[in-house]
Structure 1
Amino acid sequence: MTTAPDQRWLRGLRALRLGTGTALCLATSFALDLPIPVVAPVFAVFLLALLNRPLSLKDGLRLVLVVALTTGSGLLLAPLLRYYALAGVLLIGLCLFLAFRYGLRGGNNLVATFLVVGLTMISAAGTADTELAMTVVGALIKGLALAVLVLALCHRLFPEPASAPKTPAAQAMSNDDATRLALRAALVVLPAFLLALSDPASYMPIIMKSVSLGRQSCTTSARGAARELLGSTLLGGLLAILFWFALKWFVHLWMFFLWMLLFALLLARKLYAISPTRYTPGFWLNSLVTLIILLGQSVQDSAAGKDVYTAFAVRMGLFVAVTLYACLMVQLLDTRRRLRSGDLPRGEASHPKT
């Protein structure tokens, strides 16, 4: 008879797996000079946070193939965006809504997330240059393949106990709730996509950030939207600044890995409630994703000889603007729902109490 492992020990094991996998994926991406090196660690964070069991070789290859097909759908929409912009944007918005709704109705959340990424990043890149779009497709597929390999390695290094309870399957939402939240998530992502159409090469990080916010908005209430969405964005920016100055003490790939391991472990402790806080797991997950995106872009700016601090300030300002817009969408749509259901008197909506 096997005994169930201690829950605190099990959460610590999962935190160690998440921190190690994130750091390893980030360092490997930059060591291999992948086209968009932040893609692989972001995918690794999602995989390690959502899956407590390793993917089999067949399932891993199937996931990569599905992502290749779904992200390739963005290439089909690029000509429509180039020649019939309004129709293309409306179609992208509809596809985003359907992708988010698919995940909320009990579908594979990973596939839904990758489909959203592919629809936005690849179609935006395709409007500027087909070669750039193919580069983004390659970056997404290589990044996911690396993330799947790191997931398998981390489960080999820190295996899940056989007696550990399996993660319960996500409950499918009702049709009305799924429709409402999918619409909200699509509206969160769409402005960042429109911004990226003006300069796809520069605004790819904004799209990745908006996709993370769209996922987080599906589990955030209007009351805690500002704390969850804006708080996690600001925390991720602050950690990126601390990481950057810590890395400047000794610039080396191994130190890059070790510092990422430390920061990821600190956030993973909060994510898995080893040291409980009032914030949700989505808060800490979004903080980690924001840290990776901002830090990775700063490293690339430094390698390209750009002004790192100016670029970081502009990027952080855009992140905050996108997050404030996401908070506004959550508040507006939730207030509208409560008015329609009669939970909130119209007078209270117009004149909130102080």
Structure 2
Amino acid sequence: MSTESTAILYPARDPRARRSLRLASGTALCLAASFGLSLPIPMIAPVLGVFLLASVNQPMSPRAGLGLVLVVMLTTGSGLLLIPLLRYYPFTGVLLIALCLFLAFRYGLRGGNNLVSTFLVIGLTMISAAGTFDFGLALLVIGALVKGLLVAVVVLALCHWLFPDPAGAPAPPAATALPDDQAAWIALRAALVVMPAFLLALNDPAAYIPVILKAVSLGRQSCTTAARGAGRELLGSTMLGGVLAIVFWCALSLFVHLWMYFLWMLLFGLVAARKLYGLSPSRYPPGFWVNTLVTLIILLGQSVQDSVAGKDVYTAFAVRMGLFIGVTLYAWLMIELLDQPRGARRHVRRRGRPC
């Protein structure tokens, strides 16, 4: 391809190439840092890194980064307040969790901070489920979320320094706040998508934490997915993430090392990021590729931990993949049953990014 045609396709002010590099390198750095530092639940840092890097296209000041961490500590700590209700009044506690999930998703759909909405959903589900089983496990989950977010914030700043947007690059369009009735309908749907994973986690939180993270990702994706094509987007991204995780595992098995883990994650992240930002043609929306990348990270990270613990990696992967497919089919069913009115459907498509 000639220099002139390249300049036409990718103008000097087009920030998509650098944003793709930021997303891929940031995800790989979060992965390497979390496993290298032996953080608790190491897959949390790269998952939060994907959400952060895909949502924030501007460098965060140290004050803003610290403020986000403090907000997350407060929002995730809210799950601790619901532990007594879940232990002694389980039916009331579950209903209250469902109401809080609905309010958290509606907050994001009404123009609120999407990251805060996501962290609130994670805190309400993961921490309250873990605390019902063991209070010490709830504190461990809070520590893992805070440490993982700190890693993601530091990596975000480093990646913006390494790959800044070109001067004069257009800012991404702000998400449009939905009207109250449409936001409430879609928030109800997203909350119902997350609830089954939370109920499963009440029985064994340590085993179902990956399922909760997957359900949260599906809940975000359901905010921008209409009934038409929902199966292709939700189930397709889950299946693609599983296939990529198998290919990744086979490639990593050739030479097992932390830096090879980083380099393979960088390569797979670049493939997904180019699709997400439109550098490589794709008929799927950005939420599809975010969910694919998150599914890959969760499945692969859990398999690595299973291998270290001496478990049967392949059996555990098959069970986990089956649970992911089941949760995805349920999310598809909720979208089909609670499809919003025609006007809301067009409006959701214009938003273009998860809640």
- TM-score of Structure 1 vs Structure 2, range by shorter chain: over 0.9
Kept in 1, the 8 Å contact 2:118–2:216? The answer is yes
TM-superposed CA distance for 1:74, in Å, is: 0.3
- Alignment partner, residue 207 of structure 2: 202
- Gaps of at least 5 residues in structure 1 are 339-354
- Alignment partner, residue 231 of structure 1: 236
- Alignment partner, residue 328 of structure 1: 333
Aligned length: 334
- Gaps of at least 5 residues in structure 2 are 1-9, 343-355
Amino acid at match of 2:276: L
Kept in 1, the 8 Å contact 2:27–2:46? The answer is yes
Residue 55 of structure 1 is aligned with which of 31, 52, 60?
A: 60
> Aligned pair 1:260/2:265, yes or no?
yes
Kept in 1, the 8 Å contact 2:128–2:138? The answer is yes
Kept in 2, the 8 Å contact 1:31–1:253? The answer is yes
> Aligned pair 1:6/2:6, yes or no?
no
Task: Show CA shifts across 1:297-327 (max 9, x none).
Answer: 0000000000000000000000000000000
**d(CA) in 1 for partners of 2:318, 2:124:** 27
Amino acid at match of 1:68: M
Amino acid at match of 1:47: L
Amino acid at match of 1:113: T
Kept in 1, the 8 Å contact 2:13–2:169? The answer is no
**d(CA) in 1 for partners of 2:83, 2:207:** 18
- Alignment partner, residue 41 of structure 1: 46
- Alignment partner, residue 154 of structure 1: 159
Amino acid at match of 2:63: K
Kept in 1, the 8 Å contact 2:131–2:138? The answer is yes
Residue 188 of structure 2 is aligned with which of 183, 189, 201?
A: 183
Within-5 A mapping of 1:1-354: 6=11, 9-334=14-339, 337=341
**d(CA) in 2 for partners of 1:154, 1:205:** 27
Kept in 1, the 8 Å contact 2:85–2:93? The answer is yes
TM-superposed CA distance for 1:8, in Å, is: 8.2
**d(CA) in 1 for partners of 2:12, 2:282:** 17
Kept in 1, the 8 Å contact 2:75–2:120? The answer is yes
TM-score calculated relative to the size of structure 2? 0.92
- Alignment partner, residue 342 of structure 1: none
**d(CA) in 1 for partners of 2:181, 2:240:** 33
Kept in 2, the 8 Å contact 1:8–1:274? The answer is no
TM-superposed CA distance for 1:108, in Å, is: 0.2
TM-score calculated relative to the size of structure 1? 0.93
**d(CA) in 2 for partners of 1:137, 1:24:** 21
**d(CA) in 1 for partners of 2:12, 2:126:** 39
**d(CA) in 2 for partners of 1:54, 1:287:** 25
Kept in 2, the 8 Å contact 1:23–1:258? The answer is yes
TM-superposed CA distance for 1:162, in Å, is: 3.1
**d(CA) in 1 for partners of 2:211, 2:258:** 26
Between stretches 268-277 and 291-300, larger displacement belongs to 268-277
Amino acid at match of 1:20: S
**d(CA) in 1 for partners of 2:172, 2:14:** 16
**d(CA) in 1 for partners of 2:247, 2:13:** 29
Task: Show CA shifts across 1:95-147 (max 9, x none).
Answer: 00000000000000000000000000000000000000000000000000100
TM-superposed CA distance for 1:9, in Å, is: 4.7
Task: Show CA shifts across 1:228-281 (max 9, x none).
Answer: 100000000000000000000000011000000000000101001101211111
Distance 1:333 1:303, change over 3 A: same
Structure 1's consecutive aligned runs of 4 or more residues displaced over 2 angstroms after TM superposition are none
Counting aligned pairs with the same residue, the percent is 73
